[in-house]
């Protein structure tokens, strides 16, 4: 259950329910889990997922390389 229409992201976000609490809070990159305390960060905007019928907001962040899908 993903809704990524609010912000254009070059690659599909991972399933929020499979992420760590730190990733859900935007402390770590949603794609690779890297600590985002330092360096450049891309805010992916408000996203939603559904847990037990409740719509939950989360605010994923990622490092720029992961957002563009340029992993090599």
Q: Which residues bind Zn ion (CB under 5 A)?
A: 29, 31-32, 34, 63, 66
**What's the min distance (Å) between Cβ of 21 and Zn ion?**
17
**What's the min distance (Å) between Cβ of 57 and Zn ion?**
21
**What's the min distance (Å) between Cβ of 52 and Zn ion?**
29
8-state DSSP, 18: G
Nearest to Zn ion of 31, 49 (CB atom) = 31
Residue located via tokens 């770590």: 28
Task: Return the ∠ at Cα 72 (arms to 18 and 1), rounded to 5°.
Answer: 25
Assess contact for 10 and 67: CB atoms under 8 A.
yes
């Amino acid at each position: 259950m993903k809704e990524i229409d609010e912000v254009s992201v070059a690659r599909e976000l991972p399933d929020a329910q499979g992420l760590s609490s730190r990733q859900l809070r935007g402390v770590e990159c949603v794609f690779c889990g890297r600590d985002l305390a330092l360096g450049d960060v891309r805010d992916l905007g408000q996203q939603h997922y559904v847990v037990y019928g409740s719509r939950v907001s989360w605010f994923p962040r990622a490092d720029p390389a992961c957002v563009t899908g340029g992993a090599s």
